[in-house]
């Protein structure tokens, strides 16, 4: 009851202020006020957020070990260094492997020289064979002709024997050339087989030699260096731990939020003074029976200064609501009461409102106003209930 009386008194005070200069014996005139700015009341969607602590982690963690046994003689990568796929991270002593490579290369060079000589010899033998075949063809024709002449007693037996001897010699010469050609081919075949074997040995030795350069198999960042220079390493020795991109934030969320966080949701991540928009990429389907929390992973956009292990804060939107805020200049105060002037058909109507938090030059309205209504936002001290408003 007391509140109603207070409101009534305030309204009477506001109304009487409009006509304070008028005589109480004269009829009340409606006051017209100019220079008043108005605005339409609008609502905005406000998201209710909950924050959780997390840690930046790589997409994957890979342990890198050598494929050969040897002493680590040089370390090129240190923790925190970003590396590219194929980049050399460390070097292993190759003194036991390199001689095998050099020996194989020398063997191949020697065989190639021998093959070159054989190739030249083959060209000569082929030329001899062509000449021997031509000579045999001529000797055979001569022999056949003298054979017919001998039958007709047109040539002496001695002359025929001479021609026959030349024919037999031509055949023997061709066979000798063919034998030489076959011999060269066999030698060439043996050399090629030997070269193939040495090339296989060279390939194997070269592979082992390449293994003495420990390379990154992925683009990523060095998380740990596990072995120092000078130590003996083997395929069972992890030397580096590499993390891959994109980076993620791992956080553990209270069970009360189960079902409210989904893969694909966009969330705000604060890390190292940066405010990033991440995407929920994993949500655990079960929670820890002790902590009653479930794990969530949020994939981060590229952020050059962020490294695995960094502390991060994730803001998850839990719910949303409509909120009305108006310029603080629109609020008309009478004592502890707050009013606004609602403009309807060019007339100002004083209305009691309840406000909440102030944000900069705006104030939140908890009750008393509705979206779409028009209110005065400047010159409110010149207004009174029922006043006519002109722009």
3-class SS of residue 242: strand
Rounded to whole angstroms, the Cα distance separating 52 from 255 reads 13
Write the pLDDT tens digit of every residue in 310-329: 999 999 887 778 888 999 99
What's the mean per-residue pLDDT of the chain?
Answer: 87
378: closest CA among 113, 95, 34? Answer: 34
Give the mean model confidence (pLDDT) for residues 98-126: 92
Q: What are phi and psi of 307, to 5 degrees?
A: -125, 160
In the chain, the domains with their CATH numbers are: 2-46+322-390 (2.40.420.20), 50-60+244-320 (2.40.30.170), 63-90+213-242 (2.40.50.100), 98-211 (1.10.287.470)
- pLDDT score recorded for residue 18: 56
198: closest CA among 68, 96, 95, 110? Answer: 110
Give the mean model confidence (pLDDT) for residues 162-184: 93
- pLDDT score recorded for residue 239: 95
Q: Report the range of poorest mean pLDDT among 14-28, 112-126, 178-192, 256-270.
A: 14-28
- 15 pLDDT higher than 90: no
Asked whether the CA dihedral 273, 279, 284, 285 is positive or negative, the reply is positive
- 22 pLDDT higher than 50: no
Q: What are phi and psi of 318, to 5 degrees?
A: -95, -40
Neighbours of 244 (CB within 10 A): 15
Place 5 in a pLDDT band, splitting at 50, 70 and 90: very low
Write the pLDDT tens digit of every residue in 63-82: 999 999 999 999 999 998 88
- pLDDT score recorded for residue 8: 44
Residue length of the chain: 391
- pLDDT score recorded for residue 205: 87
Indicate the pTM of the whole model: 0.56
- 23 pLDDT higher than 60: no
Number of H helices, E strands in the chain: 3, 22
Joined together, the tokens standing for residue 8 give 């009534």
- 4 pLDDT higher than 50: no
Rounded to whole angstroms, the Cα distance separating 50 from 253 reads 10
């Amino acid at each position: 009851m007391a509140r109603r009386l207070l409101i009534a008194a305030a309204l009477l005070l506001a109304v009487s202020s409009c006509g304070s200069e008028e005589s109480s014996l004269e009829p009340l005139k409606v006051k017209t006020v100019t220079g008043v700015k108005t605005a339409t009341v609008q609502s905005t969607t406000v998201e209710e957020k909950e924050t959780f602590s997390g840690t930046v982690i790589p997409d994957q963690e890979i342990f890198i070990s050598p494929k050969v046994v040897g002493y680590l003689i040089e370390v090129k990568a240190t923790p925190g260094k970003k590396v590219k796929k194929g980049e050399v991270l460390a070097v292993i002593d190759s003194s036991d492997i390199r001689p095998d490579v050099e020996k194989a290369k020398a063997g191949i060079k020697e065989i190639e020289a021998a093959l070159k000589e054989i190739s030249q010899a083959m060209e000569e033998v082929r030329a001899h064979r062509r000449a021997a075949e031509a000579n045999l063809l001529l000797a055979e024709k001569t022999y056949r002709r003298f054979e017919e002449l001998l039958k007709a007693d047109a040539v002496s037996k001695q002359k025929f024997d001479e021609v026959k001897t030349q024919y037999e010699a031509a055949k023997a010469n061709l066979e000798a050339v063919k034998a030489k050609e076959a011999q060269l081919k066999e030698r060439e075949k043996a050399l090629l087989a030997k070269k193939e074997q040495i090339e296989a040995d060279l390939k194997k030795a070269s592979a082992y030699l390449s293994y003495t350069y420990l390379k990154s198999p992925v683009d990523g960042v060095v998380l740990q260096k596990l072995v120092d220079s000078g130590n003996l390493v083997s395929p069972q020795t992890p030397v580096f731990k590499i993390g891959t991109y994109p980076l993620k934030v791992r956080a553990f969320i209270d069970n009360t939020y189960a079902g409210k966080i989904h893969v694909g949701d966009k969330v705000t991540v604060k890390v190292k003074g940066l405010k990033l928009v991440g995407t929920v990429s994993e949500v655990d389907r079960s929670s820890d029976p002790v902590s009653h929390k479930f794990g969530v992973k949020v994939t981060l956009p590229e952020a050059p200064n962020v490294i695995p292990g960094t502390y991060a804060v994730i803001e998850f939107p839990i719910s949303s609501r409509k909120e009305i805020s108006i310029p603080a200049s629109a609020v008309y105060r009478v004592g502890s009461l707050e009013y606004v002037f609602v403009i309807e058909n060019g007339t100002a109507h004083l209305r009691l409102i309840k406000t909440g938090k102030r944000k900069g030059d705006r104030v939140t309205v908890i009750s008393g106003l509705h979206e779409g209504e028009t209110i005065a936002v400047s010159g409110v001290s010149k207004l009174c209930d029922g006043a006519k408003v002109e722009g």
